Structure 1
Amino acid sequence: MPAPIHSAPGNPLASPVWAPDRLHRYAKSGPRYTSYPTALSFDAAFTADEFSAALQRSNEAQRPLSLYVHVPFCRKVCFYCACNKIATKNTALAAPYLARLDTEMALTAQHLDTRRPVEQLHWGGGTPTFLTLDQMSELVDKLDAHFGLSDAPERDYAIEIDPREADVLTLRHLQSLGFNRLSLGVQDLDPRVQKAINRPQPRALTETLMDEAHRLGFRSLNLDLIYGLPRQTPDSFAQTLRQVIELNPARLSVFNYAHLPQRFPPQRRILDAELPSHNEKLAMLRITIELLTTAGYVHIGMDHFARPDDSLAIAQRHGTLQRNFQGYSSHAQCDLIGLGVSAISRLNDSYAQNKSTLEHYEAAIDQGQLATQRGIRLCRDDLLRREAIERLMCDMRLDLSALSERWQVDAQDYFQSALNALEQAQHDGLIDIRGSLLEVTPVGRLLIRHLAMAFDARLLSQTDNHYSNIV
């Protein structure tokens, strides 16, 4: 491991809690809480009819809409990837998929009041930029026809980009379609690491796209990095971080690689012997916090960082930050509609996930049915716990007195078992509990998943091997 890092005031690395022997206590698996209940609680008894009813109920509150579109195609498989994807170089294969997306939109819109504004749009994958420019235009036209897209300046229309599959013409076209935020997959800039994960990507590709995006006036740029990949070392990852800081993205997501080859076959191409040790991964995490906070980034929580003037950091300061299936979001109180294979919808009191294989998704749509595979309708306890977990993960604080007033319960009594479970974390300096107010410490932001688990009533019925390690 590298020599100890001398930390700036307020940096979690300055805390004695960072001692590896203490952090090992929290080196276990846990949910990322992009939803509560998590997807492991979704049930096949929740059918397309249940989802239709949930869509209709959502009209009553008239919340704005958020649309997620899953584009599953990739030209090449990255060995680390755990996404739902289809490897092909034939862009013609996207045409029948886009036609079925159009049908799914029509089926969904039948149950929605489409006068509700679409404040958020996100294309994920796979690789959305696998689509040709004409196919992208077609997809936007269909979304607009069925739901009515927005041109409001405050909209958040984002797309995930593989810099190897895009150029300056792509960015200009995306801007003309209404996108104002980009997320670029980088993972690591070290050629040795890139070779080990089957993702050669020279820095110049990313830098050229970022320069053009800044020139075009895209509101926010996010870069995705991963630590714990094969052939990474603390020193090599520090070098990647320094280069990324020079590129000056508005946001950074620095994920912990979860090696689960039994679940994700491409990961079987990664050699166990080339993976960094737990202590080396811990050192990479320390270096990430040190370099990014020194460079002026705000640690939003877990693996997300943003410049203070970015909408993500502003939303956190205003208490309007939200968790959804894409991570942290600056647009709270939207009903999320997921479109495409494996996509998940979040309505006020329900979650619904589409069928996870292309064959089954296509079959359902071709029969004129919504492609719902499973889901869940939340009970009052789920709703209360979801709010507690979401506010803790987004605000890094939880006011139990506010929960008591909103839900007409004694929240301190209701969550007494959770408060008892947090005693060790409080002793270790992860959280400060004073009466009805819980405040997460700087180092607790790294371990916020562990803190949230104390409020999860369903966790004991689930197995650890479905989750990634917290640290």
Structure 2
Amino acid sequence: MQDLVEQDAPVEPVLSEALLARLDKPGPRYTSYPTADRFVEAFGPAEYAQALAQRAQGATVGGTPPLSVYVHIPFCESVCYYCACNKVITRHHERAEQYLDALDVEIGLHVQALGTGQSVSQLHFGGGSPTFLSDAEIDQLMGSLRRAFRIAPGAEVSIEVDPRTVTAERLAQLARAGFNRISFGVQDFDPDVQKAVHRVQSFEMVRDLMASARALGFESTNVDLIYGLPRQTPASLARTIAQVGELRPDRIALYAYAHLPQRFKPQRRIDPAQLPPPADRVTMLGNAIRGFLGMGYAYIGMDHFALPGDSLAVAKRQGRLHRNFQGYSTQPDCDLIGLGVSAIGRIGATYSQNVKTLPQYYDAMRQQLFPTERGLALSRDDLVRRAVIMALMCQGRVDFESIELAHLLRFRDYFASELEQLRSLAEMGLVEIDAEGVSVTPLGWYFVRAVAMTFDRYLQADRTRERFSRII
């Protein structure tokens, strides 16, 4: 494999297949720390209400962090076999009416707790397929959100789109509704792979939609891809990468497929014999990174790429990257309200997740109760480690002094065993340890999850990692 060059790096990282294979192990994506698998049912509606009350109280005594809102739309018309999202497969679009009514109740509960007009700097619709909703239903939901919150000028308002469910006219309606960022779920353009995962959509369809989105003035377009799918080969994925290069999206997310059929029922329809072998997965990743860098994309971290002028690439260069439950973001540390079934939120030093089934969700809404099923109040140790992990994941460096001043500890004493473990990563050229801190090298950016995992107390104590996707 040829050497890969990180565009903004001072040195050229050598990304060998041997190194990729050595670090090919399961690990969290660290959209939060602690990760969602550590949430507990002892954190329920009362604890969530208390967290909101503390935020409301903070607003009266000196301000609160910015607010982000995520809305989960679980419905899809057909099942994609690779999918690990919480979804409801149905062709009965009338089912959305009851769901929107329930969302109105949940939004109202938040208004009661926080007051009307909380400023929102980031709004995201995910799923499922948010575009399962009709244009009128999307307008209805956006109206409810605008009555409850104040969408700040310049806010990022984004939506995930299944290309099979939209037309140029529908994209125009999304723009009129206020969306300024759009993400197309592509996964792969190869017809054999698409058939194997039950998601058939042509390159021409996505190409035309991308052109329409640009003409309509969407500020950012994203394409989601997956490697490691059934019937996928290094050659077939290389063709997809070339086609994505023709589309020239502002951002690209390249995820590793995690085959966990014991957890995700749709994956049981995938024949394991059709999955590419580990060596091919390693080759696919290496070729993909080389391909996107060769097209002029900047490597943001983990599985994200962006054009140099995109706000995400600019934020990385300027050391302003942040990370939340949707991945890398330009937004500063936000409180996050998660609306809808299974949605995850963060308020202050707490995380929460809503119930995962529609009957449970509807029952909570009938009782006018927050639908919180589980969550976590972060301990002091959690907060310290979150600060370290997010500094590594976002800025690529953790300064000992900043952690010591913020958390009143001696870094080298508190993390003595972790620093010792890091020596093996330093020997591989992934990190540099000096008197002032730990830095991720240009090569280490490709394996930043492995670096962050060193500081994960839960993971170090629990070696059963198969609940996570693989790093490679």
TM-score (norm 2): 0.95
| Residue 227 of structure 2: aligned partner | 227
1:78 match: secondary structure? coil
Q: Residues 380, 100 of structure 1: CA spacing in aligned structure 2 closer, same or farther, 3 A cutoff?
A: same
- The answer to whether the 8 A contact 1:10-1:442 is kept is no
1:329 is aligned to 329
- Tell whether the 8 Å contact from 1:412 to 1:436 is kept in structure 2 after alignment: no
Superposition deviation, residue 100 in structure 1:
0.2
Tell me: CA distance 1:6–1:425, structure 2 relative to 1, closer, same or farther (3 Å).
closer
- Structure 1 portions without partners, runs of 5+: none
Give the drift of 1:81: 0.4
CA contact (8 A) 2:17 2:286 kept: no
1:36 is paired with a residue of what secondary structure?
coil
Secondary structure in structure 1 of the residue aligned to 2:201? coil
- The aligned residue for residue 67 of structure 2 is 65
Give the counterpart letter for 2:55 in structure 1: S
Partner Cα separation in structure 2 for residue 296 and residue 400 of structure 1: 34
1:107 corresponding residue in structure 2: 109
The one-letter code of the counterpart of 1:119 is S
- Displacement of 1:373: 0.2
1:155 counterpart SS class: strand
User: Which residue, out of 63, 76, 79, partners 2:78?
Assistant: 76
Q: CA deviation at 1:414?
A: 1.9
Structure 1 residue ranges (4+ consecutive) displaced by more than 4 angstroms after TM superposition? 6-16
Give the structure 2 partner of residue 247 of structure 1: 247
Secondary structure, aligned partner of 1:182: strand
Distance 1:249 1:21 in 2: 31
Q: Look up the SS of the partner of 1:81 in the other structure.
A: coil
Q: Which residue is equivalent to 2:142?
A: 140
1:179 and 1:122 map into 2 onto residues whose CA distance is 9
- What is the DSSP-based 3-state SS (H/G/I as helix, E as strand, rest coil) of the residue aligned with 2:331? coil
In structure 2, the partner of 1:408 is 408
Structure 1 residue 97 and structure 2 residue 99: aligned?
Answer: yes
Per-residue CA deviation, residues 203-250 of structure 1 (Å, 9 max, x unaligned), is 111111110111111110010000000111111111111110111101
The 1-side partners of 2:317 and 2:385 are apart by 22
| Conserved? CA contact 2:250–2:307, under 8 Å | yes
Deviations 1:277-306 (Å, cap 9, x if unpaired)?
A: 111000011011101111111111110111
The secondary structure found in structure 2 opposite 1:91 is coil
Quickly say closer, same or farther: Cα 1:9–1:128, change in 2 above 3 A: closer
CA contact (8 A) 2:227 2:284 kept: yes
- Paired residue secondary structure (2:118): coil
> Does 429-438 or 448-457 show the bigger shift?
429-438
Secondary structure in structure 2 of the residue aligned to 1:110: helix
SS at match of 1:32: coil
Q: Does 1:211 align with 2:208?
A: no
Instruction: Extract unaligned runs of 5+ from structure 2.
Output: none
Matches of 2:167 and 2:470 in 1, distance apart? 35
- Supply the distance in 1 between the matched residues of 2:76 and 2:359 (Cα, whole angstroms): 17
Q: Is the 8 A contact 2:159 2:183 kept in 1?
A: yes
Give how far 1:462 is off: 6.5
Match of 2:26 in 1: 29
CA-to-aligned-CA distance 1:430-471 (integer Å, 9 cap, x gap): 111122222212332221111101111122247312111111
Partner of 1:183: 183
In the alignment, what sits opposite 2:465?
464
Secondary structure of the structure 1 residue equivalent to 2:457: coil
Question: What's 1:38 paired with?
Answer: 35
Mapping 1:64-463, distance limit 5 Å: 64-150=66-152, 152=153, 154-459=154-459, 460-461=461-462, 463=464
**Aligned with residue 53 of structure 2, among 53, 56, 66:** 56
Distance 1:75 1:160 in 2: 15
Percent identity between the aligned chains?
Answer: 46
Q: Does the 8 Å contact 2:26/2:466 carry over to 1?
A: yes
Instruction: Tell me: CA distance 1:11–1:257, structure 2 relative to 1, closer, same or farther (3 Å).
Output: farther
> Using the alignment, how far apart are the partners of 1:382 and 1:319 within structure 2?
23
Q: Is the 8 A contact 1:233 1:284 kept in 2?
A: yes
Q: Distance in 1 between matches of 2:312 and 2:5?
A: 23
* Alpha-carbon shift at residue 11 of structure 1 (Å): 9.5
Q: Secondary structure at the match of 1:67?
A: strand
Which one-letter code corresponds to 2:81 in the other structure?
F
Cα distance in 1 between the residues matched to 2:179 and 2:462:
41
RMSD: 1.7
Which amino acid letter does the alignment assign opposite residue 20 of structure 2? L
Question: Which residue identity does 1:144 align to in structure 2?
Answer: R
Q: Displacement, 1:310?
A: 0.9
| 1:132 maps to amino acid | S
SS across alignment from 2:374: strand
